[in-house]
A and B are shown apart, each in its own frame.
Chain A
Amino acid sequence: MVVNRMTVHRDDIEKLAELARLRIAPEAVAEVTDRIATILGLVDQLQSVDTGAVEPMANPLDAVQRLRSDAVTEENRREAFQAIAPAVENGLYLVPKVID
């Protein structure tokens, strides 16, 4: 299979990383850019397929979301869920200060 690399620049990768909330070490940006360009080259093969009016398929069975009756079925398990959190206090999740 012949795969052309797609043209992707360092800035593009840094922007994607920011969108995905990932940080790439400065010394790794070149290598990551190169690899992502190769992968995007692979997936770019789809551009040559004539898909005309084909309906996009999100679910392999074309299933639609099943609805349930609007009733409370879950019990409150806040303590169990917060017991595995990195930092909680008084039932609240702790994060660094957001507003000065």
Chain B
Amino acid sequence: MHDLSVAELAHALRSREFTSTELTRHCLQRIRSLDSQYNSFITVDEAGALAAAASADARLAAGEQGPLLGIPLAHKDIFCTTGLRTSCGSKMLDNFVPPYDATVTRLLRDAGTVLLGKTNMDEFAMGSSSETSFYGNTRNPWDTARVPGGSSGGSAAAVAARLVPLATGTDTGGSIRQPAAFCGITGLKPTYGRVSRLGMVAYASSLDQGGPMARSAEDCALLLNAIAGLDPLDSTSSAHPVEDYTAQLRQPLTGLRIGLPREYFGEGLDTATGDRIHAALALLEQQGATLVDITLPHTGLSIPTYYIIAPAEASTNLSRYDGVRYGYRCEAPRDLHDLYTRSRQEGFGDEVKRRILVGTFALSAGYYDAYYRKAQQVRRLIRQDFLDAFASVDIIAGPTTPGPAFGLGTKTSDPLAMYLEDVYTLAVNLAGLPAMSVPAGLAAGLPVGLQLIGPHFDEARLLNVAHQLQQVSDWHRQTPGEASE
């Protein structure tokens, strides 16, 4: 059961091969018996899942046919779920039980999905390894001595370990794509504004975007179909028309022009990773695509630009955690100032505090123009690189990460080394573009991710290319050892 795709599961549910309740029990059983090795879940909601499954079974019995009806899934613990703790991986929200649903949560509830639980993540989505979680680090199912990537590492590990067929993630600087690459799954960061941010705990509001994580492009398309679209409750969500993201999957790639940015294949790229990327590109070429050498000259500046803009927005967003209305409150505050400072000092972890301090610096009087405004100017130059490239190519491809999953604890003592992990993913968020990570085989037993980047709102094209690659390769079906049993 746990090896079937979402489309296959939906078909089996409709044809009564098994019920959603049976499928849900099977997934819950796998989580119980396997997740102690991975720590991919923060909260498992057995009772809620079984109730949702029973309700889906009733809808199925009545003849309803939704593509996600009765399908189990997990949400990154950043999406608010009514009545179910939403911690964002932080002590600050350890006691937070939301009184409302995120729009993404609500849409998927209405579609009849079965929420199994909430997945582990870097605290407030700040990290690339899922090691900053208040609930302990997640481990990579391919090698439990390595990180699963982050910040959506719990969702990636849970899907890779076949604990759940489908999960949500969020991507501010690579947080869907990098863990998808490290865990050998398929993940899509949609165009900024494509998916509502309402009820998705805010990190950096001009960069944050939720999206699907699954085993195949087709499964990602099914999930995106359910969550994309204008939300009147999110003023930054886009009114751009929504497509059926499965409609273009089967289109041939003849004539497709794929740009290869030379900055993504230079110094710093692990050789074995580069070899896997070239092998995947060769398959796309065989299917009729043309590879074109391009340049994105401001790529190197995406790291300093991101590490001003994201912390600046984070310092603003996280000022809401004050120990007054919800979340953690320190014991016996002496006065109001002590209540604020001690609640925040005790409630936030080290990386979150570092980013708040950096953001406070970038926004403070005397530094604003030199840092924040400057970063916003360079951000426009970075986006222009992509717009210029898309004048001559349809999509851009390269590695998702410079190398495979690194060892637990190897980069935690050096924030800069961790930041450099995101060199190929950050620019996409700054430019607001859609991008995917697609499995491209193993290098020394560890998954490698091929990144596909498209023009604004061209998710359908990315999914088409990924799906076609998955028709002629079986990399997305490779399963980590213990999880295949």
Contact = CB atoms under 8 A, between A and B. Distances in A.
Given A39-B307, A95-B324, A60 B99 contact: no
Interface residues of A, number: 50
Interface in B33-72: none
B135 interface: no
Given A20-B360, A68-B232, A42 B303 contact: yes
Contacts of B354: 32, 35-36, 39
Contacts of B345: 22-24
A13 B96 contact: no
B357 A60 contact: no
A82 to B, nearest CB: 8
B455 to A, nearest CB: 12
Contact of A96 (B96, B327, B339, B375): B339
Interface string B409-447: 000000110011000000001111100000000000000
A66 B235 CA distance: 6
User: DSSP majority for the A interface?
Assistant: loop
A87 B329 CA distance: 9
Contacts of A46: 301, 304-305, 308, 371, 374-375, 378
Contacts of A38: 415-416
Nearest to A54: B377
Contacts of B305: 46
Contacts of A90: none
B378 A51 contact: yes
B383 interface: yes
B353 A84 contact: no
B8 interface: no
Interface of B: 95-99, 191-193, 206-207, 232, 235-236, 238-239, 300-301, 303-305, 307-308, 315, 319, 322-327, 329, 333-342, 344-345, 348, 353-354, 356-358, 360-362, 364, 370-371, 373-381, 383, 415-416, 419-420, 429-433, 456
